[in-house]
Structure 1
Amino acid sequence: MRWIRAAGRGLLVAMIVLTGYTASGTPGAGTAQGAARDGGRGPMTLATAGDLTGYLGPLLEGWNRAHPGERVTLVELPDSADETRAQMTTGLRSGHGRFDILNIDVAWTGEFAAARWIAPLERDRFALDSFLPPVTDTATYDGRLYAVPYVTNAGMLYYRKDILDREGEQPPRTWADLERQARTIAPRYGLGGYAGQFLPYEGLTVNATEAVYSAGGTILGDDGRVTVDSAAARIGIGFLARGVRDGWIPGEALTYMEEESRQAFQDGRLLFLRNWPYAYAGASGPGSKVAGKFGAVPLPGPGGTGTSVLGGSNLAVSARARHPESAKDLIAYLTSAPVQRKVLTDGALPPVRAALYQDPELVRAYPYLPALRASVLAAAPRPKSPRYQQVSLAVQAVVHDAMAQQQDPAAAVHRLARELSAITPRG
């Protein structure tokens, strides 16, 4: 998922997608023969959506200097996740073999694997044991590894530390704490209580899924079966709907995406905000009214730490890659410890290597790393489905109706189960 939309388009989502060239000859013909002749090694193309920090080019130059016969060419696609996905899927469906490597949103792995657009990978070829454990699950489908985690992400709770300190309060650990503080403390300071990304788009799917997961529920089972019609889902969606009804989630938050919610917090209009780690930099920067006055902790849940949804992107090898062996080596390079450190320091993107989150030098430079590590370790992937886009659209529509008080949460959950059963092939 696109996880960064930084202030002034500074830090953008870390979703790198790869496309670029059209193979010569008949589409798809000769790919296996060519790979056999050259050992699966040779030049590749990598395209990126919105690499606004400019970090990726230098990383690839390091590879190119060391591998002159296996050079990788960087091509940028549109910044929009929807446009990027549309261009990728159009090319993949055409079967023209235009892709070598795909750096896909973590939510797309199941769809791409089920469509056989990406090839299974050998687990022992990559340092998966060095990654934060939950992130590897985003790269699997039907029990097989189809990609390698490259960038991770998890939601965190931003809070006004100055105000809670003045009130003698700790940041909320449970939903009850969050609701009480948002309902009673925020009004005393003229603030909205709590906001997330509640406009009907992928951000609302993430927020709703986090609420359901935190309450102990699921939306789809591992086998694709619809599991959302549960008491836990009714509790999770009910928590969000109650916040709007009772006013501690301001009605304006129903129009927020990442940037609108970040700006509201940064402008000093919110006591609490759920957002991705990128918001830390903007809220700490010049012009922020809360710089030096806020903190970040893992999301709360009903009885303690909640469950965030994993964001980020995974690197996969196209099923029609010209040079699959080179592609796998490039993935190993991009997920190696030295390069992952640069992903954080030069690209401002959360790495997948676990050790980096406990590096004293990095923690001093990025104070949110311990909270982000805890959030990732408690996180889970979005529902896995070959029809994820339709699943997400259904979740958005139903949950928005519940939060807008247009449908009772229990009825909304039952409706969502019906709609998902009509969408999912195993529903």
Structure 2
Amino acid sequence: MKRSISFTLTLVLLLAIGITACQNADVNEPEVDTPIVADEEMSSESEAEPVTIRALIRPDEGENVATYAAKFEEMTGNKVEVDFVSWAEIHDKTITTLATGGGGYDIIFIPSANVVEFSSGDWFEPINDLITEENHGEWLASVVDLYTVDGNLIAMPWYAGGAHMAYNADILNNAGVDINSIETWDDLLAACRIIKETGAAEFCFSPSAKYPGNFYYNWGSMVLSNGNDFFDSEGNPIFQNNDAAVTALDFIKTGVDEGFFDPAGIALDDYETLIEFGTGKTAFLLDSTWAVTQATRNTDLSTITDSANFMLIPGNGEIRSSGYLYAGGLGLLKTSEHKDVAKEFLVFLTNEEAQKQHAIQGANLPTRLALYEDEEIASAWRGFDVLAQQLTFGKFPPQFDWFEEWRRSAATAVQDVMAGRSTSADAVNWLVDETNRINAQ
């Protein structure tokens, strides 16, 4: 599959200067100029006695990390030990680790949602020498700016991604549903009705109402694509100011009540909804870049790799599509005893070759601009053009140090509606009060 040059340039421009309000960097592609290259410029520390550096990272990127950790050890003699911690646990473990002196780690994974929170304790070493004025234009400016706090780069941009929608073409064909007829959430609900009536699938869709998936891959992106944000710049709630939040909750509740949506989604996270979709149980999947690509290519997680395809997240008629974006960065702790070696590994794991392999393996999208024009990546991902296009409709969520606690409360609100414990309007009002309470702490 090959994308046109005009589409690629549009994507690069939007990602580099249009996704977040803080972006202001030039997006022209300079010649590659990496300040530190692990296989060419060894630090005095790595030329001496080999050392072991430790990293705390989530497991989804495990294959890529293991591959390049082994290559790094072969080239430098230095070992990389990685503790992989699940999404459901990594936030709390990271906070505990940071607050107790670093736990012996050198490198810690920083999700885009937690940049402000994780940087609040001055735990991370500035790494401004790794992305300089000379090579800044090689990177997605939106992600570099996201990880720049008070003028200091605190994490190497590792990957980008966001919320995406996948569908099972076999189910839709058996139900007689044309995928091109689905542009709005009402269109999707109509398709779900047909799927149920024809018995083409057990369920049309499964919400991922459990924390942490609910915000990005369920209600949060639904609200955004219905035309509303959640907060103003000060963290005050604004999602009660139009009907998008209630409309999205009503959509979920209707789907459950009508038997279109799997009610078990009340307790499922985004990985578990991927597994459901991968068994052919559901027709649609709203999930991460990583998850939807696994559905199309990873036979260990999906039995429908041949029939899984991508579509734009539905909108509300006025908005064609939207969804929340995310990024992953790797930060260097100030408590690291092997900073030079750790910085070499940060550069090595985020270099063009490593990011290319990361993308080809179907994990997440790169943070190096040149790779969005790479033919091997485009041909390796069926539907890469749709995934890339979806990012142009997206935006990063807000940056508040209390955002993680709020996401838990948001999941509770959705679960209460699904279980019939609350109406959509009451759930929104409760979450407004929760937002004010959490923000005031």
Under a length normalisation based on structure 2, what TM-score does the superposition of the two structures give? 0.75
Q: Distance in 1 between matches of 2:145 and 2:223?
A: 19
2:240 to 229, 246, 250: 229
- 2:261 is aligned with 1:253: no
1:184 to 172, 188, 194: 194
What is residue 174 of structure 1 aligned with on the other side? 184
What is residue 404 of structure 1 aligned with on the other side? 419
Q: Distance in 1 between matches of 2:439 and 2:150?
A: 15
List per-residue Cα deviations over 1:378-413 (Å, max 9, x = no partner): 222233221232111111111211233322212211
Contact 1:53 1:347 survives alignment (8 Å): no
Q: Distance in 1 between matches of 2:320 and 2:152?
A: 30
1:273 to 282, 285, 303: 285
2:328 to 313, 318, 322: 313
Contact 2:192 2:260 survives alignment (8 Å): yes
Q: 1:289 to 1:334 in 2, by over 3 A?
A: closer
Q: 1:51 to 1:421 in 2, by over 3 A?
A: closer
Q: Distance in 2 between matches of 1:130 and 1:61?
A: 26
Q: Distance in 1 between matches of 2:167 and 2:103?
A: 48
List per-residue Cα deviations over 1:228-265 (Å, max 9, x = no partner): 32213333333333332343323233233234322332
What is residue 68 of structure 2 aligned with on the other side? 59
User: Is there any run of 5+ residues in structure 2 with no aligned partner, and where?
Assistant: 1-42
- 2:302 is aligned with 1:294: no
Deviation at 1:419, TM superposition (A): 0.5
List per-residue Cα deviations over 1:306-356 (Å, max 9, x = no partner): 322224421122243445565445433322212211222357443323443
2:391 to 367, 370, 376: 376
Deviation at 1:133, TM superposition (A): 5.3
Q: Distance in 2 between matches of 1:51 and 1:374?
A: 23
What is residue 158 of structure 2 aligned with on the other side? 150
Of the structure 1 ranges 133-142 and 211-220, higher mean CA displacement relative to structure 2 is found in 133-142
1:160 to 168, 171, 174: 168
Contact 1:402 1:408 survives alignment (8 Å): yes
Q: Distance in 1 between matches of 2:167 and 2:208?
A: 18
Deviation at 1:367, TM superposition (A): 1.0
Of the structure 1 ranges 180-189 and 41-50, higher mean CA displacement relative to structure 2 is found in 41-50
Q: Distance in 2 between matches of 1:240 and 1:138?
A: 32
- 2:116 is aligned with 1:103: no
What is residue 75 of structure 1 aligned with on the other side? 81
Residue identity matched to 2:198: R
Q: 1:139 to 1:168 in 2, by over 3 A?
A: same
Q: 1:143 to 1:422 in 2, by over 3 A?
A: farther
Residue identity matched to 1:235: T
List per-residue Cα deviations over 1:4-50 (Å, max 9, x = no partner): xxxxxxxxxxxxxxxxxxxxxxxxxxxxxxxxxxx997667232443
1:119-130 map, 5 Å? 119-122=125-128, 124=132, 127-130=135-138
Q: 1:132 to 1:307 in 2, by over 3 A?
A: farther
Q: 1:324 to 1:407 in 2, by over 3 A?
A: same
Of the structure 1 ranges 206-215 and 80-89, higher mean CA displacement relative to structure 2 is found in 80-89
Deviation at 1:212, TM superposition (A): 1.9
Q: 1:355 to 1:242 in 2, by over 3 A?
A: farther
- 2:377 is aligned with 1:366: no
Contact 1:109 1:140 survives alignment (8 Å): no
> Helix, strand or coil: the match of 1:55?
helix
Contact 2:206 2:263 survives alignment (8 Å): no
Residue identity matched to 2:219: A
- 2:229 is aligned with 1:218: yes
What is residue 345 of structure 1 aligned with on the other side? 360
After superposition, the CA RMSD in angstroms is 3.3
Deviation at 1:120, TM superposition (A): 4.5
- 2:121 is aligned with 1:115: yes
Contact 2:60 2:363 survives alignment (8 Å): no
> Helix, strand or coil: the match of 1:195?
coil
- 2:219 is aligned with 1:204: no
Contact 1:40 1:324 survives alignment (8 Å): no
What is residue 45 of structure 1 aligned with on the other side? 53
Deviation at 1:177, TM superposition (A): 1.6
- 2:409 is aligned with 1:394: yes
Contact 2:164 2:312 survives alignment (8 Å): yes
What is residue 32 of structure 2 aligned with on the other side? none
What is residue 417 of structure 1 aligned with on the other side? 432
Q: Distance in 1 between matches of 2:337 and 2:299?
A: 47
Q: Distance in 2 between matches of 1:369 and 1:396?
A: 30
Q: Distance in 1 between matches of 2:82 and 2:162?
A: 25
Q: 1:163 to 1:100 in 2, by over 3 A?
A: closer
Of the structure 1 ranges 127-136 and 259-268, higher mean CA displacement relative to structure 2 is found in 127-136
Q: 1:359 to 1:296 in 2, by over 3 A?
A: same
> Helix, strand or coil: the match of 2:132?
helix
List per-residue Cα deviations over 1:171-203 (Å, max 9, x = no partner): 422212211111224431342554244342201
Q: Distance in 1 between matches of 2:209 and 2:177?
A: 33
Residue identity matched to 2:235: G
Contact 1:192 1:249 survives alignment (8 Å): no
What is residue 13 of structure 1 aligned with on the other side? none
